[in-house]
Amino acid sequence: MTDTASDQAFAQHDHRHCIKSALAEAARICRERNGRLTEQRQRVLELVWKSHKPVGAYVILEQLRTDGFNGAPPTVYRALDFLLEHGLIHRIESLNAYTGCAHPGQQHAGQFLICSQCQRVAELDDPKVIRAINNSAALHGFEADHQVIEIRGLCPQCQDH
């Protein structure tokens, strides 16, 4: 995925391209890491990428059942854990929901713009932000090992309305 993947969250576009790209990257990454991208894991990834809005585990579970998959909450959480472990999705902690990763397979910290009105999410990956946080933490003798930044506001379309 390119850097424009995060820009697309707030732009009108053919979302099928996002899903197709995410599935292709997932297949490539799983091949390289000997990870098993089962049919159910693939379907969970598709559901996460269905829109640029974060989706909760129980919404995914209901859709899987509608699609004919046998599922219970642990099954969905195992699939989500697999996708998280392989860097294919992110957990939006404040919403307890999941969104597709715009930079799969790359080590990066999550910085997310979350529209308070339409709920769409854009992922940023700004090394300057990461450095600023690490430098500030170091001034306090703290070594940060995990960063998730969630910024709420209004996307361009919601500002126009």
Q: What is the pLDDT of residue 3?
A: 44
**Which of 13, 14, 19, 9 is CA-nearest to residue 118?**
9
Q: What is the pLDDT of residue 7?
A: 56
For residue 123, what is the enclosing H or E element? strand 121-124
What 8-state DSSP symbol labels residue 11?
S
CA torsion, ordered 57, 63, 64, 65, to nearest 10 deg: 110
Q: What is the pLDDT of residue 90?
A: 94
- Region 4-160: CATH code: 1.10.10.10
Q: What is the pLDDT of residue 10?
A: 74
Q: What is the pLDDT of residue 4?
A: 47
**Which of 109, 103, 108, 119 is CA-nearest to residue 152?**
119
- Measured between alpha carbons, how far is 109 from 158 in angstroms, rounded to an integer? 26
Put the strands of the sheet holding 148-153 in their side by side order.
121-124, 110-115, 148-153
Q: Give the model confidence (pLDDT) of 95-133 as tens digits.
A: 999 999 988 988 788 899 999 999 999 998 888 999 999
Backbone angles phi, psi at 60, to 5 degrees: -60, -45
pLDDT less than 70: residues of the chain:
1-8
| Predicted TM-score of the model (pTM) | 0.87
CA distances in angstroms from 152 to 4, 52, 112, 116, 130, listed in the order given: 20, 15, 8, 6, 18
Q: What is the pLDDT of residue 108?
A: 81
CA distances in angstroms from 40 to 68, 72, 76, 77, 149, listed in the order given: 10, 12, 9, 12, 29
Q: What is the pLDDT of residue 2?
A: 39
